[in-house]
Structures are given as C-alpha cells and as structure tokens.
A and B are shown apart, each in its own frame.
Chain A
Amino acid sequence: MTISTVAAALLSHWRRQPLQLGALMLGLALATALWSGVQAVNAEARASYARAAAALDQNGLAHLVSPGGRSIPRDAFVRLRRAGWNVSPVLEGEYRFGATRLRVIGIEPLTMPAETRTVDLANAGDLLSFISPPGTMVVSPETAEKIRGQTDLALRVSDRMPDGAAFVDIGLAERLLRRDGELTRIVIAENQRPGLEPLGTFAPALSVREPTAQSDIEHLTESFHLNLTAFGFLAFAVGLFIVYSTIGLAFEQRRPTFRTLRCLGVSLSALAVLLLAELVLFALAAGAAGVIVGYLVASLLLPGVAATLEGLYGASVPGTLSLRPEWWLSGFAIAVAGTLVSSTQSLVRLMRVPLLAAAQPQKWGRSSRTGRRFQALAAAALLGLSGALILWADGLQAGFGVLGCLLLGASLLLPAVLSGFLTLMQRASSGALIMWFWADARQQLPGLSLALMALLLALAANVGVGTMVSSFRLTFVGWLDQRLAAELYVAARNELEADRLRAWLATKVESVLPISSVDTEIRGQPMQIFGVVDDPTYRKHWPLIVGLPDVWDRVASGEGVLVNEQFWRRERLRIGDQLDLASDWKSTVVGAYSDYGNPKGQVIAGIDALTSRYPQVSRLRYGLRVQPDQVADLRSSLSDEFGLPPDNIVDQAALKEQSRRIFDRTFLVTGALNTLTLGVAALAMFLSLLTLTEMRLPQLAPVWAMGVTRRDLAILEILRTLVLWLATFTTALPLGLALAWVLLAVVNVEAFGWRVPMHIFPYEWVRLGLVALAAAVVSMLIPLRRLAGLAPSELLKVFANER
C-alpha cells in the first residue's frame, strides 16, 4: 500500500465530516489570531519604544549623569572636551507650545557622535540654520501639525523623529528652558583617543550610565504589555479547547479506519507519522488564516493601545501596524505548537490502546474515575498554590501566577462542581421526567465540560476585569472631583505675562493656586516635585490616603512633603522617612495621596521650599478658585485682558471630561479582548452541542418512545443547556470576583503602584448574564432545529436491528 492511499483513507474522514474540519480550523485560526494579534500589538509598541529611545536618549551609548538627577554644569563638559574626550552635551526638558507639551532636546550637532544622529544636518545650509538664531526645531510630521502657529521658530520635519519631541540646538534649548549653562547629560562616544585620563578626574561628581537595552518607557509600560499578553493567552487557551475536543473526537471516530489500516500492514509508527503530518498541515493552513485575522485584530486594537499608552505613560506609538516577518513565523509556530499540545493525548492513546479495542466516540471525553480524581486533586493543588502565592510571594509575575493558578484550578474543578450540583438536584426531584432531566444533564456533562470550562474562563475574566475597571472608574471619578478642585485652569505664555496675571487675579478670585513643578530624579527614579501654596482647597479636597493630622501645616512650613501612592508603595515609605530631594534639600515624608494614571513618582512640597531650591522653576500655570457661576465671566475677561488663546484657559468640567475619556480609552483594549474571548467560548459551546446532538439519539429515543413528544424533548434540551450555562455563570461570579480582587490588590499595585478598593456591580452581572444567555441561545439554535425536525424514522433507527 502506498503512502498516498493510506493518506487518502485518513483524509476521507474530513470529507465526510466537513463540520468537524470547520470547527478544527476555526478554533485553531481564532486561537492563533488572538494570540498573534496581541503579540503584534506588543511588538509594534516595543519597536517604537526602542526607536524612540535610540533616537532621543541615544541609549546605545554611555552617558555621564548627575546622581541626584540635578543639572550638570557646562564647565564639566568643557573640561572633558579640552582633555580630549569625545563627548557631546545634551540639555532637555519639557516646554509648552500652546496646549502641546513637547520634550525639547538640545544637542550640539558638531560634537554629537555620528552613530546616534537622528537629525540629518549633512548639508551646510541645514546646519547653519539649525545652530544660528532664531533656530530650527526638528519634529515629526504629526508634531509639526500640532504646534504650527504656536511658535515663531522654524520647523523641520523628519520622519525619523518620534512624536512629542523636538531636537533643537543646545543654545536654543537653554533659552527655551531657561537653564543657561546647564546640561542634563553628556553623551560619551564609542570611539575615544587612547591614553586619556579617566573621566572621574574631570568630573568626579558625575557617574557613568552604561548603554541600556531597555528604555525607561519600556520599563514603565512593561506591566501593560504583560497584561495584554495575559489576556491574549487566555483567549488562545480558550480557542485551544475547541481544537483539543475536535481532534479527540476525530481520532476516536477514525479508530475503525486505523484498525483496518493496521490490519492491512501499516505500522503504528507510519500511522502516527501520517497523522502528525496531517495535523501539522492543518495547523499551517489554519495558522496562515489566523495570522491574517490576527493582523486585522491587531490593526483594530492598535489605535486603542496607542491611545492608552499615550494617556497612561506618554509613550508615543504609531496607530498603524507594519508587517513583520518574525511575526508571521511566530504565528505559524504558535498554531503548530497549539495543535501539537491539543493532540498529544489523542496521539498517545493511539499508540497505547490495543489494536482491537472498540471505538467509543460517544464516550470520548468521558473521563475515568481516577482521571476525575486526579483532576480534582490538581485543581485543589492549583488553588492552594494561588493562595500560597498571595500570602508569600510578591512581584508582578507572582500576581499573574496567582491569576493563572486560580483560573486553571477553578476550571479543572468545574466538572466536579457541576456534577455534584446535578446529582443533588436529581436526588431532590421526584417526577420521572424531572429526574431524567437532571440525570441526563449529568451524563452530558463530560462531553460539554471542556466547552463549559472555556465558558467559565471567559465569563470569569469578564466579571473580574469588568469589576476591576468599574471599581477603578468609580474611584477615579471621585478622585478627579478631589484632585481637580479649582474651577478654572489658566496658563500664561511667559513669565512676564504670568506676573501680570497674578497681579490682576489677586482681586478677582477667591484664591490662586500656582501649579509649578520641576522634573528631577529621586532614589534613581524620574520624579516631579510640585510646589503648593497653603490654601484651604488642599486641606479640604486633596485625596490623601495617609497623613499626619497637621500635614498641610508641615508642608506649608517646608518641614515635610507628601508623596504620591505609587512612589510610596514602590519605595515602601513610612511617615517620618527622609527623602533627598536635591543635594541641599532633605525633607520628611508626612503623608501620601492617590495619583491615578501617573506612571511617575511625585512629591508635593511647600511652594517656598521649592522655589528657594529651584529659583528658575516655571510659574506659568495656575488653578483658580471662584464661585461656579462666575467661571464663564472670568474666562471671557481673562481672554479679553490677556488675549490668551482658548487652549490656555481650561475649565474643570472640560478637564474632567478629558480625563474620563482617557480613562475609558485605557481599558477599551482589555474590554475588546474580553468580548472576543467570550465569543470564542460561545463558539466552543456551539461546536460541542452540535457534536453532542449527533450522539444524543440513543439517549433520547427511548424517552420519546415512552410517550414524550419531540417538542417537549426539544424544550427540555433547551432548559438543560440553559441550566448548565446558568450554573457555569453562577460559578463564574465568585471566581470573577476573586480575579478582580487579585487584579486590584496584587497586579495593579505591582503594575501601576496604586490600590483601589473593590466595588460590586450587580447590574453589570445582569448585563453579562444577558449577553451570555443570548450567546447560549444562539449556540443552541442549530442543534435544536436538528432535534425538533427529527423524523420519527431517524429515532426509530436507534432500535432497528440493523444497528
């Protein structure tokens, strides 16, 4: 017998079972699509961080930096240069052009090492216009669009520039940032003359920061990407449930074919190899489809992810996707790996089960008693492990470990829980038909349990993430009310105007709250220090989570500072701890406040304490307290008096609206992934029901023969499926709440640095329940129509002697 004959015999199964083939391909393609879609989004974002870091931070090179995050005096650079070191100065800071805040990076094009040159100034004319006043800014096309008309400086557009940043000549940066003679860092070129005296001789106060593979933004966004990966994996796993059960059934149904082939002299290993080849072939085909769908999924998700990253971390990621070859490869790899994982059990059975054992397709998926016991034990072990991880481990990975163990353990436990419930119901009922109803549901359980497990995972993820997001949102909105207490926010365009503004406002409003901050580095982390005046607004509204009773007196007197929650948790600070805010500035922590949506640490100090250490701090922005009914008047007099553009005067309502929008966008992606997962679970359910319908006849025929109409059987069938859905949904609720708790109390604290109290939203459960119900009904429709339209002769065949 030739290989092709054997292959044809094996493949003919799929021709007779197109539905099964469809299910296999669909499950595999969907799993691949969701997984590779998420991977594509992550890869795109990471690539763009790397691009930006390489361009903006020159992070491929070593730098000299000042340990406290303070400025470096220009002299240090001059000394190094004179000694023959090939170094180049950088001064950077934030600058506002109208409503747009840009990261301004001042460089010296003549000394900047060639390998990091993002700005192409090879042309002498370009160079001249870059370094001579008034100066040129090099920005991305998108940034150019935003700030056009907001500045008198010439703009040069470069495709290689990341959004939200501008390269300028260092002299221009000094003027814009008002930091004359200061440097942020000094880039050290790779090629240095031999025999130079060590760097430490010239700049003892500075330290060398070695080139890093990972940028700051990559660090910050790591948790976000881990989150995406986790949900992508969940969707993938749910999709694999379909693949696993389809392959298992197909193998069982083909057992007679295998037997015949082996009797005809095909060796077991040849058979296994052929089957493996068949599976890999399917995996490649489905993988290709999956990668294409994944590309679509990714392009749908990416704008949302880009918005989230921008809103949460200020990271700029393009909203469009580029096709990467490694991504195609990983898509195929995951499809093949998923198929192999899902088929291991079937292949092992093929190798182990005796040649002549009868095929039992209707028994496929029904586990032995030891199997069930093992499953329950594994579930208990996993649940125990997740509890142990909560108690004794910390870190983001441990957080996800808890989630994984919890979900897997609970889904392994589900069949036992459902079976127990059905047994109880059966014992409690007395009518023959009702008793049969429960008994039959229990008998169907093994065939449905994989789909039900997938459903449990999807529902629990929906409940958990939904609860987390809604709890967070509730807290966030309340927090916004506290945080944005001022009725109007105004920004002057320069310090002169700011002085006039302050004088003018003194008589017009109840209080003027300056918003002044400096960027610095504390304990090796990028930080912002805000200066606040002593005002009742803070005492009444500021969202403190811990603090001494007289915090605000201590802050006002310069005796103490407040820190935000993320810094508080990250550094495990306590009240009374000392912080080095600058070389000549130590202060005591007197409290902490919540500061959602901010990846960086933050310190609040008295304004006098801040300005005495940072005299150059910008004093352009103010929050104004006025009676709410005067906001509109004040707004128009402000623009009349000072001619301020509308973007420079923002009222509280608009700001809140904007914050809420950013918030909602942030969780759009997780929401979308959750919905997709639920969809895949519903599909798994549909396919299982469809498969089961074929095997249901011997179970239904006797009942029909004893005088139950087909219509009533169909109704019972609906009820049975609904009961199983409902029981799974009910199980998913506590699991989802546990998930939400882990997300809020463990994962978020690790990932973002804040902890939000958990709230319960029963209305959302009702909504999810209705969605799940709709999915359940849809998943039942086709199987049910088959059943209701069954001809008596089909039922009678069950009893026919020919069977």
Chain B
Amino acid sequence: MESYICDIVVILAAMVIALRNLSKSYETAEGRLEVLRGIDLDLGAGDCVALTGESGSGKSTLLHLVAGLDRPDAGEILIGGRDISKLDDRGRAAYRRTEVGLVFQQFNLIPSLDVAANIAFHAKLAGRHDSAWENELVERLGVGTLLTRYPEQLSSGQQQRVAIGRTLAARPGLVLADEPTGNLDEANGDAVLDLMFSLSKGTGSTLLMVTHSHRLADRLDRQIHLRSGKIT
C-alpha cells in the first residue's frame, strides 16, 4: 500500500483549471445517455465559480470528472497543466488526496470517527496536518463543542459545517462542492456558505460549486450554466 503520509505534494499556488472538449455518457436501460457533450471551460487560480443548471443536466457528473472520481469518455481535464484524465486509479487517488477538497450534499463524514478526527482526516492524508489552522477553523465554524461527537449525533447543518472544516483543513488548491446546502434551510445554508466563501478566499483556493439556487450563484465571482450537455 502506498504511504499516504509521506506522499506530500504541497500546492502553494491555487489551481488553474482547463477543460477541453469533455464528454461523458452513461449506459442505461433505455440506451446510451449523453450527459456531457464537449465541455470547454477555463477557471483562473482563486476563482469562485457557480455551476448551475436544471436537475439532471450533468452538474454532478462534471464535478465528479473534475474531482478525478470518474473518467470522461473523451476530452482533457487540465489541472495546473496536467491532464488528470490520463492518470490511473492510483494517480487520481493521489490527486484527490493532495489537491482536491470535496463537499457533497450528504454523507461527507466518516461515520466511525468523531468530529475532531473527521476534521483532521483529510489534512493528515494529504500530509498537511496543522493543528493551529484546524483550531481556527473549528472556532470559525462554531463546532468546538461537537468535537467528541460522532456524525450520526449531529444535525444536517452541523454535519455540513464539519464537512467544510474537514475540506479546508487540508488547504486544497481546488474546492469542489455539490449543493452543499441542499439539505439545509435557507438561513442555515447561508451561514454555512458565508463561512465557506470567506475561508476559501482566505486559503486562496479555486472554488467550483454546484447549486441551482440563483440567489447563491449570484454571490460568487462567476456563473456557468449547463444545458443539453454544453456550457452556455
């Protein structure tokens, strides 16, 4: 097994992302479903971008490809100049470990670890464990009283705060979020997002966030809209 501790690739600069003619389809019972049909996109370092589109338009699919969780059928995903779609399983795992931070709508946390261990987990995997920074995050996110609790003992809002803390603790060059507040009520969701924006600005990460709320999208630097597998 590869060592997750020594394999340190410190990304000091935020990521420049370029997608070239990216396409992805799924085999379904009704036949081939073309979800992405030639996506071209450039994101600058430190950009905060909202990805919007109808439900089923392929937002999550695109995010997964950029995160190295799945492979495209064709096209390039250039992260800092390197095409991660050409990487093998191990290479993509290393990329996720060291360069990407992910926040999903749910099931972000590791059920068997308490909040403190969850927050430190990714940073440790990436080899960038920094207690001072984690303490600061815990304080800013207001989860200091929850550190010894387990995920199933938290509310959804608390879970998402912890997930954001976990993601940012690793200081990833690229933060990808897929409707991170979809399960939260508006007030709670806004509070969580405010924290995420300011914190990722603070670390200088590039942020790509899927949302179908225009109100949220408006608060970011830029918006990208997906329709019929293309960016409009």
Q: Which residues of A contact B (CB under 8 A)?
A: 431-433, 435-436, 439-440, 442-443, 698-699, 701-703, 705-712, 715, 792-793, 795-796, 798-801, 803
Contact = CB atoms under 8 A, between A and B. Distances in A.
Nearest to B111: A699
Given A443-B111, A792-B69, A801-B105, A707 B182 contact: no
Contacts of B26: 793
Interface string B1-25: 1101100000000000000000000
Given A699-B110, A702-B109, A799-B107, A712 B95 contact: no
Contacts of A796: 60, 64, 69-70
A439 B4 contact: no
24 contacts: A431-B5, A432-B124, A436-B121, A439-B110, A442-B112, A443-B111, A702-B108, A705-B96, A706-B96, A706-B122, A706-B125, A707-B95, A707-B126, A709-B93, A712-B1, A712-B2, A715-B1, A792-B69, A793-B26, A793-B70, A795-B69, A796-B70, A798-B107, A801-B178
A275 B113 CA distance: 38
A709 B124 contact: no
B106 A432 contact: no
A432 B121 CA distance: 5
A707 B96 contact: yes
Nearest to A439: B112
Contact of B111 (A698, A793, A800): A698
A500 to B, nearest CB: 83
A702 B182 CA distance: 18
Contacts of B90: 709, 711
B97 A707 contact: yes
Given A707-B97, A801-B179, A433 B4 contact: yes
Interface string B80-103: 000000000110011111101010
Given A708-B4, A711-B89, A798-B107, A439 B97 contact: no
A705 B69 contact: yes
B120 to A, nearest CB: 7
Contacts of B108: 702, 799
A433 B126 CA distance: 11
Interface string B47-82: 000000000000010001001011000000000000
B117 interface: yes
B111 to A, nearest CB: 6
A interface: dominant SS: helix
Contacts of B105: 799, 801
Interface residues of B, number: 40
A633 B106 CA distance: 91
Nearest to A797: B107
Contacts of A795: 69
A707 B89 CA distance: 10
Contacts of A707: 4, 93-98, 100, 125-126
Nearest to B67: A705
A435 B117 contact: yes
Nearest to B114: A439
A447 to B, nearest CB: 12
Contacts of B93: 707-709, 712
A703 B179 CA distance: 19
Contacts of B126: 707
Contacts of B179: 801
B118 to A, nearest CB: 9
B106 A803 contact: yes
A711 B179 CA distance: 29
A715 B4 CA distance: 14
A442 B110 CA distance: 13
A792 B64 CA distance: 10
Given A705-B96, A705-B102, A707-B125, A432 B4 contact: yes
Nearest to A443: B112
Contacts of B121: 432, 436, 706
B107 A702 contact: yes
B96 to A, nearest CB: 4
Interface in B165-220: 178-179, 182
B178 A799 contact: yes
B102 A433 contact: no
**A698, A711, A801 pick with most chain B CB within 10 angstroms:** A801
B98 to A, nearest CB: 7
A230 to B, nearest CB: 39
Contacts of B117: 432, 435-436, 439
Contacts of B122: 432, 706
Greatest chain B CB density within 10 A among A710, A792, A798, A799 is at A799
Interface string B149-177: 00000000000000000000000000000
Contact of B113 (A436, A710, A800): A436
Nearest to A799: B104
Contact of A706 (B5, B70, B97, B107): B97
Contacts of B109: 702
Nearest to A700: B110
Nearest to A707: B97
A803 B182 CA distance: 12
Residue from A705, A711, A795 with most neighbouring chain B CB atoms (10 Å): A705
Given A439-B117, A799-B105, A699 B96 contact: no
Interface string B114-132: 0001001110111000000
Contacts of A699: 110-112
A702 B110 contact: yes
Given A435-B117, A706-B102, A799-B104, 12 more contacts: A439-B110, A698-B107, A698-B111, A699-B110, A703-B110, A705-B104, A707-B96, A707-B98, A707-B100, A708-B125, A709-B89, A801-B182
Contacts of A799: 104-108, 178
Contacts of B2: 712
A800 B59 CA distance: 11
A436 B113 CA distance: 7
A16 to B, nearest CB: 18
B107 to A, nearest CB: 5
A278 B134 CA distance: 55
Given A707-B93, A709-B93, A440 B112 contact: yes
Contacts of A442: 112
Given A435-B113, A443-B112, A796-B70, A710 B89 contact: yes
Residue from the set A432, A699, A793 with the largest chain B CB neighbour count within 10 Å: A432
A237 B44 CA distance: 65
